[in-house]
Structure 1
Amino acid sequence: MRADRLVATLLLMQDRGRVTAAEVARELEVSVATARRDLEALSAAGVPVYPQPGRGGGWSLVGGARTDLSGMTATEAQALFLLLGPAGADTPEAQAALRKLLAALPRPFRAEARAAAGAVVVDPAGWGDPLPERPELVAALRDAVVRGRRVRLDYAGRTRERTSRLIDPWGLVDKDGIWYLVAGTAEGRRTFRVDRIASAEVTDEEAARPAELDLSAEWDEVVEEVERRRSLVSAVVLVDARLVRVLRGQFGRHCVVLAERDGQARVQVAAPTPLMIAQHLAGWGAGLSVVESTAVRAELARIGRELVGHYCDDIEST
C-alpha cells in the first residue's frame, strides 16, 4: 500500500539523512520509478524533502537526519497527512503506520494532522462524467476541515435556486473527479457538490464534529442512500474477459464479474433504468451480448432501429 511506502520512505530518510531512489527501491522492494514517484509526491505535498542533483546527490530531509518528526512544522505535518490519508484508508497495516507516524509528531500538531488524515476520501466509482479540473474551492474547504472552522455557503442545488447556509465541514470526497463536501447542518448530515457552491466563507467559529467521525463510513452511508433512491436495475452480459476493465470504466461499482471461463466473462451491470444501461452498451455493437434482461435487450433493439431509420437513406445514397 502506498501509505506504508510513504511512511517507510520518510523514516528511512530520517535514519540516513540522504538517500537515492535506487536505495529506497532496494530497501522497500519496489521499482526505482515507483520510489522516485513517492519521493516526488512527498516533496510536492509540502513535506521538507528535496533532491540534490549531481554526483553524490540524492534526496534529503531539510535539517538532515533525525530520529523523530519533531523538526516538522504544523503546515508540513498537515501536508503529509493530507497526502497519506486517502492512501491509508485501505488496509489495517496502512492505518497502523499512520497511527505510529501520528504518535511521533509534536503534541501540538497532532489534532490538525489527525483531521488532515481523515479530511479526504477517494471513491473511484463515478455517478457521471468527471469534471475537467478540480474546483478551486476544494483547497479552502479542505483547510476549513483541518482547522475545524464553520463555513457559510451560497449553494445552488439541483433546482439551481441559491440558498445560504452555515455548515460544519466534516470532509471532502473525490468521486471519480467530482468533488463532494460532507457536512453537518441544522437539519443533520448533508452532502454538497463542490462545483455547485457559488461561494464559501470560512468563519472563525469552531465547527461541531461528531466524536470518532469516520468519513469513509459516512460516505458509504451517503452512497447507499443515493443508490437506493435511484432504484437500480441490472442486466447480465457476456464479454471478452480482457475488456471487463473497459466495461467497469462505464459502470463503476455497478459492474460485477459473476464468472469467467475460456476467456469470456459473465458480468452484471446496473443503472437507474434499462435505457441507461442500453445507452452505455449500444456503442459495443456485437462486441458483447446481453443474456439477461428483456427490458435492456428491447431498448437496444429500439436504439438500433432508430439509428437505422435515421442513417439508412444516407447510406443508400452513397
Structure 2
Amino acid sequence: MRADRLVATLLFLQTRTRVTVAEVAAELEVSPRTARRDLEALSTAGIPVYSQRGRGGGWSLVGGARTDLTGLTAEEIRALFLLAGPSSTTPELRTALRKLVRALPAPLRSGAEAASRAGLVDGTDWSRADVTATAPHLDALRRAVVDGIQVRLGYAGPGKPVGVRTVHPLGLVAKAGHDYLVAETERGLRTFRLNRVASVEATGEPVVRPDGFDLATVWRSFAARLEERLYAASVRARAEPGAMAILERLFDGRLHVGPMFPDGWTEIRVDGPTPEVVATQLAGLGARIEVLDPPEARERLARLAVELAGVYGPPGSF
C-alpha cells in the first residue's frame, strides 16, 4: 500500500508547480502526518523532491522533473478513457485512471480528461435488449464530444420525419443494447438515440457546457424520469403454475409474485406504463393468465379477443 501511495504522490507532484502537505493528504485521502512521511521518503530515496518553508512554500520536483510511465499514443489514451471513464464502478480502476492522467505529458492530459467524462455505460435493464442497435454515427459523435465541437444533427424521433438541429454534444451513454447522446439544445438538455441519427456534421464551433454538468448525474435524472413512466401502472392477475417461468423471463423486475390460491394458481402483479399496455403483453399467454384488475386491463383483453376472433375465426373453427 505504501509503494502505491509513493507512486501516487510522485505523479501528483508532476501535475503541480508546488504542493502542500495538506493538498497531498486531501488528494490521497490520508492524514497530513502520513503525507509528510511519504514526501520525505521520496526525497530520501533520491527522487528530486525538495521542500521550501515559509509563506508560499511547499514541496516541488527539482527542475520540474517528470516520470513518463505510459508510452501511449494520443488515440490510445482517448480510447482507454472513453471505455473506462465515469462508467467504471470499480474503485481500483478509478484510482488507476487518476494516476495515469497525472503521468501523461501535459499536451495529452486535457484530451484524456475530456474523454473520461465523455462516456457512460448504464447496465440497468429497461427492455432486456440482447442485440446492440446499429449506430453508424457513433465515432463522429464521440469525436465531437471529446473535442468539444457543436454538430448539426439529423434526427428522426419516433414516428417523425428527419429534422436537423444544432446541438452541443456533452456525453455518450450505452444502455440496454442502445447508444444515446446527451446534448444541450435550444430547449435544454436532451437525449438522442443513436440508431435514429441520420447525419452528423461538425460546425467547428465550441460546445458550451452547462455549469456544473456531470454526465452520470444528468443521465440518472433522465433514467429516473423514464423509469417512472415505465412503471406508472400495475395489473393484478392470477397465473397457472406452468406460466410462471415464462412470466419471469418476460417481465423480470416488473413481475411481483404474491400468494398461491387454493387451486394452485399464483397471484401476480405486473408493472408497466399503462394497464392497457400490460394487458396486451399478457395476452400472449392466453388462458394461462386471468387478469383481475384494473377494469381497463380486462376491457383491453376483451377487445383484443373480439379483434382476434374477427381475424382468425371463433375458437373451434379450425
Within a 5 Å distance, the mapping from 1:1-318 to structure 2 comes to 69-85=69-85, 87-88=87-88, 90=89, 92=91, 94-123=93-122, 124-126=124-126, 133-158=133-158, 160-226=160-226, 232-237=232-237, 242-243=245-246, 245-248=248-251, 255=254, 257=256, 268-288=269-289, 290=291, 292-312=293-313, 315-316=316-317, 318=318
CA 1:269–1:311 in structure 2 vs 1: closer, same or farther (change >3 Å)? Answer: same
Q: Does the residue aligned with 1:85 lie in a helix, a strand or coil?
A: coil
Does structure 2 retain, via aligned residues, the 8 Å contact 1:115–1:146?
yes
How many angstroms does 1:71 deviate by? 0.8
CA 1:315–1:117 in structure 2 vs 1: closer, same or farther (change >3 Å)? Answer: farther
Tell me whether 187-196 or 302-311 shows the greater mean CA deviation: 302-311
Q: Which runs of 5+ in 2 are unaligned?
A: 1-66
Does structure 2 retain, via aligned residues, the 8 Å contact 1:257–1:265?
no
Tell me whether 292-301 or 74-83 shows the greater mean CA deviation: 292-301
CA 1:278–1:159 in structure 2 vs 1: closer, same or farther (change >3 Å)? Answer: closer
Q: Which runs of 5+ in 1 are unaligned?
A: 1-66
Letter in 2 for 1:248: F
Distance 1:276 1:313 in 2: 24
Letter in 1 for 2:112: A
Q: Does the residue aligned with 1:213 lie in a helix, a strand or coil?
A: coil
Aligned to 2:21: none
Q: Does the residue aligned with 1:153 lie in a helix, a strand or coil?
A: strand
Does structure 1 retain, via aligned residues, the 8 Å contact 2:258–2:269?
no
TM-score after normalising by structure 1: 0.61
Q: Report the number of matched residues.
A: 246
Letter in 2 for 1:278: A
Tell me whether 133-142 or 148-157 shows the greater mean CA deviation: 148-157
How many angstroms does 1:72 deviate by? 1.0
Tell me whether 220-229 or 131-140 shows the greater mean CA deviation: 220-229
CA 1:312–1:198 in structure 2 vs 1: closer, same or farther (change >3 Å)? Answer: closer
TM-align CA RMSD: 3.9
Distance 1:224 1:153 in 2: 25
Distance 1:148 1:155 in 2: 20
Deviations 1:107-163 (A, max 9, x none): 433332233233233345346978874220111101211122111223334463544
Does structure 1 retain, via aligned residues, the 8 Å contact 2:247–2:255?
no
Q: Does the residue aligned with 2:85 lie in a helix, a strand or coil?
A: helix
Over the matched positions of the two proteins, sequence identity in percent amounts to 40
Does structure 1 retain, via aligned residues, the 8 Å contact 2:168–2:208?
yes
Deviations 1:237-284 (A, max 9, x none): 5666655651236xxx6x1546699x9987643333222111211122
Q: Does the residue aligned with 1:209 lie in a helix, a strand or coil?
A: coil
Q: Does the residue aligned with 1:125 lie in a helix, a strand or coil?
A: coil
Distance 1:271 1:95 in 2: 36
Aligned to 1:36: none
Distance 2:236 2:275 in 1: 12
How many angstroms does 1:105 deviate by? 3.8
CA 1:216–1:245 in structure 2 vs 1: closer, same or farther (change >3 Å)? Answer: farther
Tell me whether 156-165 or 268-277 shows the greater mean CA deviation: 156-165
CA 1:241–1:129 in structure 2 vs 1: closer, same or farther (change >3 Å)? Answer: closer
Distance 1:184 1:200 in 2: 15
CA 1:106–1:264 in structure 2 vs 1: closer, same or farther (change >3 Å)? Answer: farther
